[in-house]
Amino acid sequence: MLDYSPLWETMRKKGVSQYALIQAGIDRRTLDWLKKNKNITLLSLEKLCAILKCKPNDIVRFID
């Protein structure tokens, strides 16, 4: 199972809001899926990493 809680912590630490992600090209539907821990595309993950200047582990983790 995927858990995107690291994303919200990374955003808080870097002072990046959901609105800033939308302005940078992240779709509102993608944000909704992140909140619900649903699958997102690798392209979306790559965009998030570029915007937040972080690694995938700072956005998602796998849990049993």
Predicted local distance difference test score (pLDDT) of residue 62? 93
Predicted local distance difference test score (pLDDT) of residue 51? 97
Q: Which residues of the chain have pLDDT under 50?
A: none
Mean pLDDT of the chain: 96
Token code pair at residue 57: 């582990």
Q: Which residues contact 10 (CB under 8 A, 6 or more apart)?
A: 16, 52, 54, 58, 59
Predicted local distance difference test score (pLDDT) of residue 6? 97
- E strand or H helix at 6: helix 5-14
Residue-wise pLDDT tens digits, 37-55: 999 999 999 999 999 999 9
